[in-house]
Amino acid sequence: MSYSPPDPPHEVPADIVSKLDDQPPEVLRQVARFAEELAEYHEREARLAENEESNQVEERPEDLPDDVPSKATITVKEINDNRYYYWQWREGEKIKSKYKGPVDSDN
């Protein structure tokens, strides 16, 4: 381990380096964990956006309502001990749902 402070990466803005330099070791470790999780989140969101663009569904299922996008998937939700199908899709930061029908208990 070196006795001199490490050189910050050139990509890190000087104001961030200055603020980090004033923090105690435990806060720096928490910031490092947060930065790693934030990087993973941004990478995951970029992959999802890329997949969404490249995996456009060309054919709509026959039972897909007109107001539900073709990228929607079917999800089962349990409400008051009853199970129901819902169409579910993402619009920006929100997840949208539309009722499809009850789950047949014979299946």
Contacting residues for 36 by C-beta, under 8 A, at least 6 apart: none
| pLDDT tens profile 17-29 | 999 999 999 999 9
pLDDT at 1: 65
pTM for the model: 0.46
Cα-based angle 7, 12, 15 (whole degrees, multiple of 5)? 95
pLDDT mean over 75-80: 85
Cα-based angle 102, 105, 107 (whole degrees, multiple of 5)? 110
pLDDT at 105: 58
| pLDDT tens profile 32-52 | 999 989 988 888 888 777 766
How sure is the predictor about 107, in pLDDT bands with cuts at 50, 70 and 90?
A: very low
pLDDT mean over 98-107: 78
